[in-house]
A and B are shown apart, each in its own frame.
Chain A
Amino acid sequence: MEQSHVLSVFVNNCVGVLTRISGLFARRGYNIKSLTVGETENPAVSRMTIECIGDAQIITQIKSQLRKVVDVISVEELKEDAVCRELFLVKVRANDTNRTAVMGVAEIYRARTLDVTPETLVFEICGDRSKLESFFDMMKTYGIVEIARTGVTAMDRG
């Protein structure tokens, strides 16, 4: 059954490593939903959080193919209850007539207001996917000007 899986891939923090990993996914036709990279507590090591879609066989393949990449140090598949977070910046259409209403909805989601103009509002919101998507759907009703998403970053509990 196809479903979403989150992989933590620890890689050498060196030139070209992102190309290597994204190239592997593109070449072999694996689906990436999101990919984020950042340095870890050890500056020589980066952590990639890759959200990918596939059935059990494909995910096993992805993990084995990743382990073959020389710059990959380890590959872990996160558990279903892992802590997953993503950050959205959302620019919404809002003017004098509905600004309060829009900000009221944002308040419910605990989104922060970063910028106000006569025609727009920019919100920052962080959370798990269902919360962010629900917020996004609500904001659509007011009219979204643009959105920037960081992609999921995640780790196991405990």
Chain B
Amino acid sequence: MKGAEIIAKVLKEQHIDTVFAYPGGTILSLLDALQGKRNLKLYTNCHEQFCAHAAEGYARATGKAGVVIATSGPGATNLVTGLANAYMDSTPLVAITGNVPLELLGRDAFQEIDIYGVTMPITKHNFIVRSVDRLAETLRFAFQTAMSGRRGPVLVDIPKNVFEECAKYTPAKPAASPIPLPAEESLSEAAELINASSKPLLCLGGGVIASNAAEGAYAFAKRLGAPVMTTAMGIGGFPQDDDQYLGLAGLQPNPSVTAALSDCDLFIGAGLRFSERMLQNIRGSSPDCKILHLDIDEAEIGKNLPAYSAVVGDLSAVLTSLLPRLNQKTLRIYPDNVPRDPLYTQIFGAFPNAIFTTEVGVHQVKACHSLPILHPRRFITSGGLGTMGFGLPAAIGAAIATDNCVVNLAGDGSFAMNMQELSTAVRYKLPITQIVFNNRRLGMIRDLQDRDYGGKHVLVETAPMDLPAVATAMGVPFVRSGDAESLPAMLEEARTQKGVCFIEVQTES
């Protein structure tokens, strides 16, 4: 069987139903083999980076591995930002790149690039497949690696001739990824620590979503009676309409977060990596409290913050193993100080069942604070890398994965980076509502220039553009533009639409 057909077989073994691919010279035989396969749909975007973001949106909306395919050279290098984004946010992706034929590798052939070397630091692991005999096992191992332990992107680079050469294909079932279970000793130490604490504080990170641990986290929080914060990646890991929900741990903590931090004697960080933005708040408000760190990745323990105690393992397993050992504590409620921007709560009100995605900037911070997300996998944002241009293609991936309505929140700066993806949304008739807050500037950077550089503005005014005309030109059937006051009326209309909607909100800041 030809290498390209073997790949199709392995994708089927892995129950992959969706692939995001951008065509190019070295992957033609692969695309030819994938086209028309039952239970496999091929999608394309306007740029390989968007294929990677779409695959990430797919993966984060479903918990399955996203698959992206690109050609050699520029096709492969265009994946770099997407892979880096997935790496920072621990999203399982498998990227397949074509490369020049084996006999040309290393000779600077047309569209040859050492993508294996380029992506080594931004993938969980990567491969170059030099023989068709190793193709099936390598690809299977790539999926297993992406989906096991702390998830992440894996790249498989395949020279063109390997797609065309033949090998024997032996069917195999996907290898079960072992769930990393916590050590008994660490569990009893953690339980003792929690039971001895009088004012624990729980902070949930992206691990809660990745390990499908939201239910376990909820029961855990109820047993502790503790206030609960999330990181941006942890949004959706705890229902925000719950009395114990406190707000966002990272950027611009609200007064209740600060109060709870300075009040707590045990900080329980679950499925997070203590990013420097969060550390500031903990160190500032609560220098003396003990830290209990629960994470799947042993290397995160003590990396940024020395932990008093730690449990390493799959978060769902950790939380359910801890629960029966914990005494019920009394409920502690802090006043609701979550700074919800009314524009964003209006949007949420119009689309309560949507998946929300964001770009990066002022609107992202507001969305993280404001949207009262209730469920896991309903909020997808570029957390670690902060990639402008991530949101719309991620929305496309999430919409394709779920058929659910998706709302992408954008600023005009980010929209200028990925506006052509509106045409992708239109092409596949996806239920996506794109909302652009247009303040004609890169607001977050401008704010920093105001704060730290005496208000001298450098390169932060965006080019004047007729955004509704752009959306119309892309074929978007529903296009509206107005100021903040007219937003409710525009939302009211948009929520009943079936296809792509575009709303520009003209704002001053």
Footprint of B on A, CB under 8 Å? 15-16, 19-20, 23, 27, 57, 60-61, 64-65, 67-71
Select the residue from B124, B299, B306 with max chain A CB neighbours within 10 A.
B299
Task: Please determine whether B299 and A19 come into contact, CB atoms closer than 8 angstroms.
Answer: no
Q: Complex Cα distance A27/B487, Å?
A: 46
25 A-B residue pairings within 8 Å (CB atoms): A15-B128, A16-B116, A16-B117, A16-B120, A16-B128, A19-B117, A19-B120, A20-B120, A23-B120, A23-B121, A27-B121, A57-B302, A57-B306, A61-B302, A61-B303, A64-B298, A64-B299, A64-B301, A67-B298, A67-B299, A68-B297, A68-B299, A69-B125, A70-B124, A70-B125
Chain A at the B interface: SS class: helix
In the complex, per-residue mask of B270-309: 1 if CB is within 8 Å of any chain A CB, else 0:
0000000000000000000000000001110111001000
Closest CB of chain B to A119's CB: distance in Å? 41
Q: Give the chain B neighbours of A67 by CB distance below 8 A.
A: 298-299
Q: Which residues of chain B come closer than 8 Å to A20, judged between CB atoms?
A: 120
A17: min CB distance to chain B, Å = 11
B285 to chain A, nearest CB (A): 23
Q: Is A70 a contact of B145 with CB atoms below 8 Å?
A: yes
Q: A15-B128, A70-B124, A70-B125 are in contact. Are A61 and B299 (CB under 8 A)?
A: yes
User: Shortest CB–CB separation between residue A78 and chain B, in angstroms?
Assistant: 20
CA distance A16 to B128 in the complex (A): 10
The residue on B at minimum CB distance from A14 is B127
A23 proximity list for chain B (CB < 8 A)? 120-121
Say how far A89's CB is from chain B's closest CB, in angstroms.
Answer: 31
Residue of B nearest to A24 (CB): B121
CB distance from B294 to the nearest CB of A (A): 16
A101 CB, nearest partner CB in chain B, Å = 50
Residue of B nearest to A20 (CB): B120
Q: Which residues of B contact A64 (CB under 8 A)?
A: 298-299, 301
Contacts of B121 in A (CB 8 A): 23, 27
Separation in Å of the B97 CB from the closest CB of chain A?
Answer: 15
Taking A20-B120, A23-B120 as known contacts, 16 extra A-B pairs with beta carbons closer than 8 A to each other, sorted by chain A number, are: A16-B116, A16-B128, A19-B117, A23-B121, A27-B121, A60-B302, A61-B303, A64-B299, A64-B301, A65-B299, A67-B299, A68-B299, A69-B125, A70-B124, A70-B145, A71-B125
Q: Nearest A residue to B301 by beta-carbon distance?
A: A64
Report how far A65 CA is from B124 CA in the complex, Å.
12
- Give A65 to B145 CA distance when docked, in angstroms: 16
Contacts of B116 in A (CB 8 A): 16
Note all chain B residues with C-beta closer than 8 A to A57. Answer: 302, 306
Per-residue 0/1 for B157-181: is the Cβ within 8 Å of any A Cβ (1 yes, 0 no)? 0000000000000000000000000
Distance A71 CA – B116 CA, assembled complex (angstroms): 15
Residue in chain B with minimal CB distance to A57: B302
CA–CA, A71 and B126, complex, Å: 10
For residues 210 through 269 of chain B, which have their beta carbon under 8 Å from a beta carbon of chain A?
none
Residue of A nearest to B116 (CB): A16
In the complex, which of the residues B117, B128, B303 has the most CB atoms of chain A within 10 Å of its own CB atom?
Answer: B303
Which B residues touch A68, using CB under 8 A?
297-299
Instruction: Give Cα distance in the complex from A61 to B297, angstroms.
Output: 11
Q: Which residues on the B side are within 8 Å of A16 (C-beta)?
A: 116-117, 120, 128
Report the bound CA distance from A34 to B195 in whole Å.
Answer: 46
A67 to B145, CA, bound (A): 14
Who on chain B is nearest to A70 by CB? Answer: B125
- Cβ distance A126 to chain B, nearest Cβ, rounded Å: 34
B116, B117, B120: residue with the most chain A Cβ atoms closer than 10 Å = B120
Shortest Cβ-Cβ A-B pairs, 3 listed: A64-B299, A70-B125, A64-B298
Which B105-138 residues have C-beta < 8 A from chain A? 116-117, 120-121, 124-125, 128
